[in-house]
Structure 1
Amino acid sequence: MKVDIHNHILPDLDDGAKNWTTSIEMAKQAVDHGLKNIIATPHHLKNNYYNEGDRIKKQCQILNRKLSEAKIPLFIFSGQEVRIHGELLTHLKNGQVLPLAESRYVLIELPTHTVPQYTERLFFQLLCADYVPIIAHPERNEIFQKEPLSLMKLLEIGSLAQLDIGSLRGDFGKKAKKSSKLFLREGIIDFVATDAHDVRKRSIEVMSHLPFVQRLCTANLYQKILQNSNRILSNEWITR
């Protein structure tokens, strides 16, 4: 895996990196694990986190400059992990919400305990506007854990799914671990990512568990999952 599409490496924006020192340490971890690119995805509209597009782009520019000065061979692209809301399409068009790496792909976080009733309608609207919703860590959502078919319904209309590698080792509880294994075996995961927040508890070191992903899905699916992250950077269409 050369690209991490879900990462909280930018400092002082959310519950991720607390300062530039942590960001640099995370970058070094990323390089040690073979990453070439990271898409920074600060939380937006979750709890008290409010990170509009311009702010994120500015932080990416600063971090890329610091990485260049430190001769760390890693590039940071801009993105968001945006909480689902009814004005999402409007905010994409006016730049408040950022797609991943200026592509058509949008990383969307659902509430942990529910799936809003308007989700399917909103995803359909996004797809009609040539944006592709990527559901962040569906294995951690209680509705999808109980009713995997409700996730399938959203994927069938054209949205995609991103799994947190840490779910496979139980970082988010037994139910998330069980669902992550099921979703991989059933072939309904399109991306895996670190969702890294720091250098210890929720770090990029989780990439050492990629062999778990490989064992749970077919060889073809595993290669496709790894390649899909690269396809975002080139804004290629990703199909299931």
Structure 2
Amino acid sequence: MLFFKKKVIPLIDFFPKDFIDIHSHILPGIDDGAKNLDKSIALISKMRSYGIKNFITTPHVLGDVYPNSSQTIKEKLEEVKAALQKRNITDISINAAAEYMMDEQFSELLENNDILTLKDNYILVEMSYFSAPINLYDILFEIQVKGYKPVLAHPERYGFFHNDFNHYYKLKKAGCLFQLNLLSLTEQYGKGVQKVSEKILKENLYDFVGSDTHHSNHLELLKKIGTKKNLEKIKHLLDNNKKFL
């Protein structure tokens, strides 16, 4: 019996030259991502070795757990930019938005237009992994009434949607854009998530991708996505991300 290895593609050849990662947690000491400035620079340097040189990083804004403000996020961004310059790493473009939990605090920020967008009017949002907000569709409506476009982070990871795929069609119909976590193409989050991500891909419901990098283990695992089959499946999404440059 013959066994055929998957055709492995080094990530530096996998990502388009001008790819921009629109979901990561690489600002220091601000959420559950990079713990300090050295780790921030290490993560950026590793991603740079994969050919990723453009970033819109997205720290959590989550109630009392990660009570980040636009100001604190911008301050941390400037720290990272200064550290990159100090280390003579000059080919990196990094900006910051946020990953907003769709909760009461987010509704207040939205009301006050105190929002860091990915670019133009695109907002990266998430929900609890335990359940969707009771007023989910009201929040999505509010976002759009305010002139913004909701980009839902990793829809494949919300297990409460897995038993009824119609939820995904309903979200799309409500004006929600979808961002695939690249590691969902592996077993990082479990086989259930991997299976649902494949189905959402097959139904062509995704709009963008993101690494959702938190730490070095994520970047080691990211190498696993580098196959010809995966590239064929998500090349259009990698290209779609260019709109955020």
**Shared fold (TM-score, shorter chain, > 0.5):** yes
1:18 is displaced (CA, Å) by 0.7
Q: Which has more radius of gyration?
A: 2
1:95 is displaced (CA, Å) by 5.6
Alignment of 1:229-240 (within 5 A): 229-233=241-245
1:96 is displaced (CA, Å) by 4.3
Q: Per-residue displacement from partner, 1:8-33 (whole Å, max 9, x unpaired)?
A: 00010111001111111111112111
Q: Which residue is 1:206 aligned to?
A: 222
Residue 62 (structure 2) pairs with residue 45 (structure 1): yes
Q: Which residue is 2:170 aligned to?
A: 153
Q: Per-residue displacement from partner, 1:197-224 (whole Å, max 9, x unpaired)?
A: 112x222761651545334x3xxxx443
Q: Per-residue displacement from partner, 1:51-101 (whole Å, max 9, x unpaired)?
A: 111100111112112112222221211111111114535413536442224
Alignment of 1:66-85 (within 5 A): 66-72=83-89, 73-85=91-103
1:188 is displaced (CA, Å) by 0.7
Alignment of 1:97-108 (within 5 A): 97-101=115-119, 103-108=120-125
Instruction: Decide which of 176, 189, 193 is 1:172's aligned counterpart.
Output: 189
Q: Which residue is 2:77 aligned to?
A: 60
Structure 1 distance, partners of 2:218, 2:95, is 20
Aligned residues: 226
Q: Which residue is 1:17 aligned to?
A: 34
Contact 1:183-1:189 at 8 Å conserved across structures? yes
TM-score (norm 1): 0.86
Contact 1:165-1:207 at 8 Å conserved across structures? no
TM-score (norm 2): 0.85
User: Taking every aligned residue pair, what percent have the same amino acid on both sides?
Assistant: 31
Instruction: Decide which of 180, 188, 197 is 1:163's aligned counterpart.
Output: 180
The 3 A distance-change label for structure 1 pair 210 and 131 is farther
Structure 2 distance, partners of 1:125, 1:53, is 20
Structure 1 distance, partners of 2:67, 2:105, is 15
Structure 2 distance, partners of 1:93, 1:43, is 19
Structure 2 unaligned residues grouped into runs of 5+: 1-14
SS in 2 for 1:163: strand
Is 83-92 or 141-150 further displaced after alignment? Answer: 83-92
Q: Per-residue displacement from partner, 1:110-142 (whole Å, max 9, x unpaired)?
A: 111212221112112211222011111111101
1:168 is displaced (CA, Å) by 1.3
Structure 1 distance, partners of 2:39, 2:214, is 9
SS in 2 for 1:203: helix
Is 85-94 or 155-164 further displaced after alignment? Answer: 85-94
Structure 1 distance, partners of 2:201, 2:135, is 26
Contact 2:103-2:133 at 8 Å conserved across structures? no
Structure 1 distance, partners of 2:194, 2:124, is 21
Give the AA of the match of 2:124: L
Instruction: Decide which of 81, 91, 102 is 2:109's aligned counterpart.
Output: 91
Structure 1 distance, partners of 2:129, 2:162, is 10
